[in-house]
Amino acid sequence: MAKHEFGGVVNIDIRDSVPDWGPFEPPKASKGAPNVVYIVLDDVGFSAMGCYGGPIETPNIDRIAADGVRYTQWHTTALCSPTRSCLLTGRNHTRNSMACITEAAIGFPNASGTIPPENGMLPEILGDLGWNTYAVGKWHLCPTDEMNLAATRRNWPSGRGFERFYGFLGAETNQWYPDLVYDNHPVDQPKSPADGYHFTADITDRALEFIEDAKVVAPDKPFLLYYAPGACHAPHQVPPDWVARFKGRFDAGYEAMREETLARQKKMGIVPADTELPPLNPIGTPQDRHGPGGQPFPPLDYTRPWDSLSGQEKRLFARMAEVYAGFLAHADHQIGRLLDYLEQSGERENTLVVLVSDNGASGEGGPDGSVNENLFANGIPDDIDVNLSLIDELGGTKTYNHYPNGWAMAFNTPFKMWKRYEFNGGTADPCIMSWPAGLHAKGELRHQYHHAIDLVPTIMDCLGVEAPATLKGHTQSRFDGVSMRYSFDMSAAQSARKTQF
């Protein structure tokens, strides 16, 4: 933003002086500048949602898709922190020093877990141009040793351009009893689960509050809302009535679901008509694959064929999928609350809504699923008998559950593997954009190849703003991303991206 030089007059006598408030006024966005609602779902695979051929009804996400475009070849880094760094900077994750999740950061330039200040974030850019900037939900862009009250806030949302924040700083949290941070300090949740508390509903309340508080004072000022629910990262926790909506829906198993999903995707034009499914265990099994030194195949990455399960195991595995489906449907309902507000307030027409997932569905539940996802993190296998005994507690306050990895393959149809893997099951994800005032396609597909790094350039292109040369005194680096706006109303256009690295 160009610096405004003082244009007044300073004399010895105030009566002979002329003030100029220009250099001291806060920045103002241009009249009619769009809002941005940036929705980042967690561990939601390519084909979980209805508008991508999936089995889970997501009527509010479908509203966004029906009012815009869906991309079928949009990619991520297959992990949370690296992708989220791309989504907010427009640079590749290794240039963001985010080659791994922040909990696994190491002291090297590509993987410190600390995004360098020369890679300015979208809220830093837009805040300096006159937008209000809000973030709610998951952050996961801060080193673990800075997630405490004695730490610098330089990598907290408030240190990277967000004026308001309400959510959690790490990879995951309990949806009933979250580790809440409000702006720059921890807080207790406003009520208990017994009184109706759930994290996704809470952050939606707070997002609406942030927007409305500012609109009362400055109704024409545009805003950026970064909305990042915990859904559908484990633990899969949701009120039981949302789980009940999907009772019996997954009884046929994940292999049958893959076939059904693929058939819908072909009919919808999401994948080519000759697309075939990979094997259930596409990279091997403990019986037929070992490392070069005879190392065993990772047991948690083996998927059990559905017909090899006992009747009780099928019942347990199906319930775990019902809980996941309820979790996503519940998040969709909260997204609907945001859309309703935009429509009722007259803001929807000039609001760019972007919805993505940060990586593919997660296989971290292992072959049998888990009632406590932290077992996986410590290399401890689940006990199927213990899990069966807790089937009626799944999704509630007494479990920290995750589904079996067969469902991850199914929710990533037609791809192989899942989160953490560089195959499309880890990297190919939903991307939906809608902007009634500027994107005129309705309910259409786009097949151009794009990546998470392309969203910041796209948003800035839609807002009509340019990247600054400096931010907070730091000379800014180049973007790796390219704008996707050319594809909004040109479905047959050649992809503007030729290579990723």
CA 121 to chain centre: 16
pLDDT of residue 299: 86
The per-residue b/e assignment along 198-231, b for 16 or more CB within 10 angstroms, e otherwise, is bbbbbbbebbbebbeebeeeeeeebbbbbbbbbb
Structural contact between residues 291 and 207, judged by C-beta atoms closer than 8 angstroms: no
Cα separation values, 494 from 233, 354, 486, 490, Å? 34, 22, 10, 9
* CA dihedral sign of residues 236, 139, 362, 67: positive
As a whole number of angstroms, the distance between CA 408 and CA 421 comes to 12
Cα separation values, 312 from 219, 229, 309, 318, Å? 57, 32, 8, 10
* Secondary structure letter of residue 350 according to DSSP: G
The amino acid that residue 55 corresponds to is P
Which among 475, 382, 424, 462 is positioned nearest to 68, based on CA atoms?
462
Each residue of 315-350: pLDDT tens digit? 999 999 999 999 999 999 999 999 999 999 999 999
The per-residue b/e assignment along 395-406, b for 16 or more CB within 10 angstroms, e otherwise, is bbeebbbbbbbb
The amino acid that residue 246 corresponds to is F
- Which of 15-19, 57-61, 372-376 shows the lowest per-residue confidence on average (mean pLDDT)? 372-376
pLDDT beyond 90 at 390: yes
pLDDT band (50, 70, 90) for residue 423: very high
pLDDT band (50, 70, 90) for residue 379: confident
As a whole number of angstroms, the distance between CA 275 and CA 265 comes to 10
- Per-residue DSSP letters for 61-90? HHHHHHTSEEEEEEE--SSHHHHHHHHHHS
* CA dihedral sign of residues 19, 23, 26, 30: positive
pLDDT of residue 3: 67
Q: At what angle are helices 455-463 and 80-89 packed, to 10 degrees? A: 30
Q: At what angle are helices 311-344 and 199-217 packed, to 10 degrees? A: 10
pLDDT band (50, 70, 90) for residue 2: low
pLDDT of residue 373: 85
Backbone phi, psi, residue 43, to 5°? 60, 30
Each residue of 247-271: pLDDT tens digit? 999 999 999 999 999 999 999 999 9
As a whole number of angstroms, the distance between CA 445 and CA 424 comes to 19
73 - beta bridge partners?
Answer: 449
Tokens matching residue 382? 């689940």
Q: Coil, strand or helix: which one is 370? A: strand
Q: Which residue has the higher pLDDT, 247 or 4?
A: 247
pLDDT of residue 1: 52
Backbone phi, psi, residue 75, to 5°? -125, 160
Task: Supply the mean pLDDT for the chain.
Answer: 96
As a whole number of angstroms, the distance between CA 89 and CA 104 comes to 21
Cβ–Cβ contacts within 10 Å for residue 486, how many?
A: 15
- Return the ∠ at Cα 365 (arms to 359 and 371), rounded to 5°: 130
Structural contact between residues 53 and 265, judged by C-beta atoms closer than 8 angstroms: yes
- Beta carbons within 8 Å of 202's beta carbon, 6+ residues apart: 166, 178, 189, 190
pLDDT band (50, 70, 90) for residue 233: very high
State the Rg of the chain over Cα.
23
Percent of the chain with pLDDT over 70: 99
pLDDT band (50, 70, 90) for residue 218: very high
